[in-house]
Structure 1
Amino acid sequence: MNGIRIITKLPYRQWRSFSRCSILHQEIAQAAAPLTIPLPEGVDKPVSPKIEKLVTDITQLNLLEVSELSQVLKKRLNLPDAPVMPAGGFAIAAPAQEEEVATPKAVKTNFTVKMTKFDDKQKVALIKEVKSLLEGFNLVQAKKFVESVPTIVKADISKDEAEKLKEALSKVGAVIEIE
């Protein structure tokens, strides 16, 4: 009781420092608590006794009891029936591949234009061309773009647009690949 009276008579500054000290004391006490050591990678983490009991009970069931258990769990948990794979499941997949071969392959519609090299003598012209062809590029960005070769100029564009871009950049000394 006397301790409380002393604390209430303290000025605000002393009260504040007292509360800081008590908070620090609590933090130190928590830090001194024993730490748990993490388990090595190869070792299984400990399992709760409840789970361990369930595992031992399930492993002691025979095949009919396991079937019954799965049916009851499916009903209670509203799980759909899992598709059963036939014994010759891999043999069934083989004819599907033959059908794929018979169908024509899809035509590629999206292309990527990639600049692999450029002529050092025409570097200035190439930078100006990149600045004019690529939207949002200023001169400094175009210079950095050209110097970072090999790089992708544009991706997911049509074949006509890719051809036009290749032609325009090839005129100013760039080596372009269309993928």
Structure 2
Amino acid sequence: MSTTTEILEKLKTLTLVEASELVTQIEETFGVDASATGAVMVQNTATESTTQEEEKTTFDVIVEDVPSDKRVAVLKVLRKLTSLGLSDAKEFTTSLPKALKEAVSKEEAEEAKTQLESAGAKVKIA
């Protein structure tokens, strides 16, 4: 195994703190500024995570909380969005957080979230 390959393998095992310390030591030892390179690395990481988020095609609508004074309005929306009867909708709201819709399109998830939040529920999309 060549020296550069060995160094690369060791670099792969560093924690974020250790890598930061290494960069600082390299800058001090060789009198260089690694901030421009770091910015490129951060930018590439941000681009990669955006790409991963864009690849997600199905979403879950999770009802996190329903204030007691908004319960009736939220129950009406729950029943409108699903085929739940009144007693099932009431039961649904007693064990929150809970997924109301699973594996739906982003548009459907956003629409359900908007309607539920308008009625007073706290909702997240996962």
**Normalised by the shorter chain, which TM-score bucket?**
0.5 to 0.7
What's the secondary structure of 2:63's corresponding residue? Answer: strand
**Pairwise CA distance, 1:143:** 0.6
Aligned match of 1:167: 114
Aligned residues, how many? 81
Task: For 1:143-154, list aligned pairs within 5 A.
Answer: 143-154=90-101
Task: For 1:22-101, list aligned pairs within 5 A.
Answer: none
Q: Deviations over 1:123-168 (max 9, x none)?
A: 1111121112112x11101110112211001110000000000000
Q: Deviations over 1:1-27 (max 9, x none)?
A: xxxxxxxxxxxxxxxxxxxxxxxxxxx
Aligned match of 1:120: 68
Partner residue of 1:107 out of 55, 79, 88: 55
- Match of 2:86, as an amino acid? L
Question: Deviation above 6 Å: which 4+ runs of structure 1?
Answer: none
Partner residue of 1:131 out of 75, 79, 84: 79
Q: Deviations over 1:19-72 (max 9, x none)?
A: xxxxxxxxxxxxxxxxxxxxxxxxxxxxxxxxxxxxxxxxxxxxxxxxxxxxxx
| 1:156 is the counterpart of 2:103 | yes
Q: TM-score, normalised by structure 2?
A: 0.57
Aligned-pair Cα RMSD in Å: 2.3
**Pairwise CA distance, 1:115:** 0.7
Q: Distance in 1 between the 2:102 and 2:109 partners?
A: 9
By relative contact order (CA 8 Å, sep 6+), the higher-ranking structure is: 2
- Match of 2:71, as an amino acid? K
Q: Distance in 2 between the 1:161 and 1:124 partners?
A: 22
Structure with larger Rg: 1
Q: TM-score, normalised by structure 1?
A: 0.41
Q: Which runs of 5+ in 1 are unaligned?
A: 1-90, 95-100
Q: Deviations over 1:97-142 (max 9, x none)?
A: xxxx9x854611010110111111011111121112112x111011
| 1:178 is the counterpart of 2:125 | yes
Q: Which has the higher helix share?
A: 2
